[in-house]
Amino acid sequence: MTPQDSVVHTAPAQVNPDHQQLIDLLDEAPLRLPHYLTWALSSGGTLLDGLSVFMLGIAIPLLAHDMAFTTTQIGLLAAALVAGAIIGASWGGRLADRIGRKSVFLIDMGLLALFAALGALSWDPRLLIASQFLVGVGIGMDFPVSSSYVAECMPQRKRGRMMVATIASQSVGMLLAAFIAMGLLHLNGKPDTWRLFLASEAVLAALFLIARLYLPESPRWLMSQGRNREAVHALERLVPEDRQMLETLATRLGSTVHHITKIPEQAHRMGLAVLFHPAYRRRTLLSTLPWFLMDIATYGVGLFTAVLLGALHFGCQSQNLTAHAEALTSGSGMIDTSLLLGFMLGLWAVARFGRIRMQLIGFAGMTVGMLLLMTSTLLLGGAGQHLLLVFAGFIAFNLFMNMGPNSTTYILPAELFPTQVRATAAGFAAATAKVGATLGVFLLPLIKSAAGVPVVLLLMAFVSLLGMLFTWLFRVEGHGRTLEEHHREDLP
């Protein structure tokens, strides 16, 4: 039995008894096939995020040759993907709180499919940069919606694990991208293979768009809008219950709004300002600052893993461009298997030990990983003579990142805020994080060019250390609570 299983839950006093009965049905249900199907479709955006980041990282060396990209244009191209995610997360979160989770799920996947296809057909660097920016908008929109939807629909005791599994789809996307890229490079073997990379991304997005048409809306979101009859119909698709009993509850509830917050007087005018209310300010800082710092390191190192491997002399013995790209794809793919392993450990550890503890441990491990990499560059003969240490550093960084901060920063905003602003809060946190990601991917190659790889790695270690510090300063220990219990007065 885990600590989460042993917690005795007491519903907040302000919950309507009929709403509480519906919430209990959601929270106490066993995981069934409908839960797994809704989770799989909800995870499409994070899967495509990992796939698009990996594909772009491998495409950059090919693009530099095929379309004569300048160093500045490469920096802009890399930054465009995550810069677009800033806009997407901000819009997507607020829009999902207004018009519903499912509607935004469809919009963001449509954007992904359309602009990935446009990128594959691009003939000009500026058009490709613009299309990648709009792909980033779609990815950014999906982040707050997927975290909110999974948090609201999964059973309470499995919520943490299913949310870790959602963000873990990033690493599945990266590994899938490695297999696709290796296959395409083997079949085509030309510098313009990057077009096929983006085309495969568009095809996957189109498939997810079609499949998401069959998703139910979040019952919790429907209840938060007073749409209780629709809520019980959505609930029926997840939890098989006596239909007559559910209809009776819906009739009694009418249009009563399910509204549970620490500031109930703002029931009908909740928006972005709630995040800065004294009752939620600490939670906003906890949700944003560590994620911002983590993404500087995560996206900076992740997107340029192939570039860093090249700088550390992995696979550089080949003079052939596509053979070199295949070597870097293989090396990046081997390193990225540690991402998936980290998430698999996170599935157990985050639920067992809690969000805050694992976030602290994860940032500490990320710091160690970057210091190992830096050490490899300073030893006699350079990193090329110490590939074991290079891979150990990358693997430690990825492993601890995914069993800690990359899982927990995604989970926390969706758990700490009320349903009416849950996606808004998750979107604000994700947008802030993507500002860090944009800084990471744009500045990393410039810093590498000006000061060298060791300075980049030392900077990433310092950023990871700061993430650990801010997590400790703004921690909120709500492990094992239901979404409604997070708003009880005994939590800051």
Give the torsion sign (CA, 231, 237, 238, 243). positive
Q: Is residue 92 part of a domain?
A: yes
Q: Is residue 53 part of a domain?
A: yes
3-state percent breakdown (helix, strand, coil) of the chain, nearest 5: 80, 0, 20
- Integer Cα distance of 24 and 89 in angstroms: 30
Q: 47, 119, 418: which is closest to 265 by C-alpha?
A: 418
Q: How many domains does the chain have?
A: 1
The secondary element (H helix, E strand) that includes residue 220 is helix 219-224
Specify the pLDDT at position 1. 37
Q: Given phi > 0 = left and psi -120 to 50 = alpha, else beta, which region is 216?
A: beta
Q: Is residue 300 part of a domain?
A: yes
Give SS3 for 225. coil
- Integer Cα distance of 72 and 137 in angstroms: 21
Q: Is residue 483 part of a domain?
A: no
Tell the burial category of 447 from Cβ atoms under 10 Å away from its Cβ (0-12, 13-18, 19+): middle
What amino acid occupies position 25? Answer: L
Structural domain span for residue 351: 16-260+272-477
> Which three-class secondary structure string do you get for 359-374?
HHHHHHHHHHHHHHHH
Q: Given phi > 0 = left and psi -120 to 50 = alpha, else beta, which region is 68?
A: left
- Integer Cα distance of 202 and 181 in angstroms: 14
- Integer Cα distance of 457 and 245 in angstroms: 59
316: phi then psi, degrees, rounded to nearest 5: -85, 0
Q: Is residue 266 part of a domain?
A: no
Q: Is residue 6 part of a domain?
A: no
Q: Is residue 489 part of a domain?
A: no
Residue owning tokens 């990825």 = 398
Q: Is residue 488 part of a domain?
A: no
Q: Given phi > 0 = left and psi -120 to 50 = alpha, else beta, which region is 452?
A: left
Q: 151, 437, 470: which is closest to 286 by C-alpha?
A: 470
Tell the burial category of 17 from Cβ atoms under 10 Å away from its Cβ (0-12, 13-18, 19+): exposed
Give SS3 for 227. coil
242: phi then psi, degrees, rounded to nearest 5: -60, 110
Where the chain has pLDDT below 70, the residues are: 1-14, 64, 66, 189, 191, 264-269, 299-339, 380-386
Using only C-alpha atoms, the chain has a radius of gyration, in whole angstroms, of: 22
- Integer Cα distance of 373 and 395 in angstroms: 10
CATH number at residue 176: 1.20.1250.20
